[in-house]
Amino acid sequence: MNGELQVVDDVPAAFAREVIAAFSSRVGEEFDIALSGGDTARLCYERLAAEAAHTIDWLAVNVFWGDERCVPPDDPDSNELLARQALLERVGAANAVYPMRCEESVDAYQLRLGEVGRLDLVHLGMGPDGHTASLFPGSAALDADECQLVTFNEDPSGRNKHRRMTLTYAGIARARLALFTVSGKAKRPAMEAVLAGEDLPAGRVRAERVLWLVDRDAAPRSLL
Ligand code: 6PG
């Protein structure tokens, strides 16, 4: 596993604190953040919206996505919809919003990321199977070429629905901070496996800094 693991009581609160700190360290410059999907992400965005509606200058924030399900943007499974409802509509505005749209090519998204250079923060979750973003165990995207930042992918096990667009490891590695939020008992076995160095997708993530915010239910027993 790469990076630092913090066991926290309240993952959404810790997430909001880290995003505010990362934003504050970039004063005067634009802040590029890639968002995630899933239930933990929703709680994190709601908390961030509540705590940072005024502490973050949202007109300096450019919003990207780390992965997206290939569904219409108003589909209940859309990560874009989740972020709009839980965060963007609550804070009012952002400088720019770059949804991943499966009907556009991955090259278009990759070009946009290329223009940005580094992403300040990439938010990531982890599934009980150890996937992160839409990098699923045994899937083709795990072996994407280093020059490919974005790709389409599918879960070969069929457990996670929908075709996806996702950042690759190389795409995530552009982050100054890759920030994992992991919550709940169902995640403990994967968290223990990642800590033990087993080869699960989430454990392979690299970035300038990788920080895992993990609650007590998900934390490896050896850390409690
Ligand atoms: C997605 C995600 C995915 C998610 C994890 C954790 O679009 O599904 O980006 O990687 O973050 O599956 O999701 P939960 O918090 O719902 O367990």
Q: Ligand 1 center to residue 36 CA distance, Å?
A: 7
Cβ pair 135, 142 in contact under 8 A? yes
Q: Ligand 1 center to residue 57 CA distance, Å?
A: 27
Cα end-to-end span (Å), the chain: 18
- On whether residue 143 sits in a domain, the answer given is yes
Q: Ligand 1 center to residue 70 CA distance, Å?
A: 14
Please report, in tens digits, the pLDDT of each residue of the chain (224 residues total): 889 999 999 999 999 999 999 999 987 789 999 999 999 999 999 999 999 988 999 999 999 999 999 999 999 999 999 999 999 999 998 899 999 999 998 999 999 999 999 999 999 999 999 999 999 999 999 999 999 999 999 999 999 999 999 999 999 999 999 999 999 999 999 999 999 999 999 999 999 999 999 999 999 999 98
Q: Ligand 1 center to residue 182 CA distance, Å?
A: 9
Q: Per-residue b/e over 138-169, b at no fewer than 16 CB within 10 Å?
A: ebebbebeeebbbbebbbeeeebeeebbbbbb
Q: Per-residue b/e over 66-89, b at no fewer than 16 CB within 10 Å?
A: bbbbbbeeeeeebbbbbbbebbbe
* Total domains in the fold of the chain: 1
- On whether residue 175 sits in a domain, the answer given is no
Task: List the structure tokens of 205.
Answer: 């993530």
Residues spanned by the domain of 99: 4-170+181-204+216-220
**Which protein residue's CA is at the shortest distance from atom 14 of ligand 1?**
38
- On whether residue 131 sits in a domain, the answer given is yes
List, chain by chain if needed, residues with CB within 6 Å of any ligand 1 atom: 36-41, 67, 79, 125-127, 131-133
The pLDDT of residue 28: 77
- On whether residue 211 sits in a domain, the answer given is no
The sign one gets for the Cα dihedral 136, 138, 143, 148 is negative
Q: Which of 36, 102, 200 to mutate to test the pocket of ligand 1 (most atoms within 8 A of CB)?
A: 36
Q: Per-residue b/e over 8-40, b at no fewer than 16 CB within 10 Å?
A: beebbbbbbbbbeebbeeeeeeebbbbbbbbeb
Q: Ligand 1 center to residue 40 CA distance, Å?
A: 7
- On whether residue 132 sits in a domain, the answer given is yes
- On whether residue 138 sits in a domain, the answer given is yes
Query: Can you give the CATH number for the domain in which 144 is found?
Result: 3.40.50.1360
Show Cβ contacts of residue 76 under 8 Å, excluding neighbours closer than 6 positions: none
Side chain identity at 104, as an amino acid letter? E
pTM of the model: 0.97
The alpha helices in the chain, defined as continuous H runs, are: 11-24, 39-52, 79-83, 89-91, 106-116, 169-172, 188-195
- On whether residue 88 sits in a domain, the answer given is yes
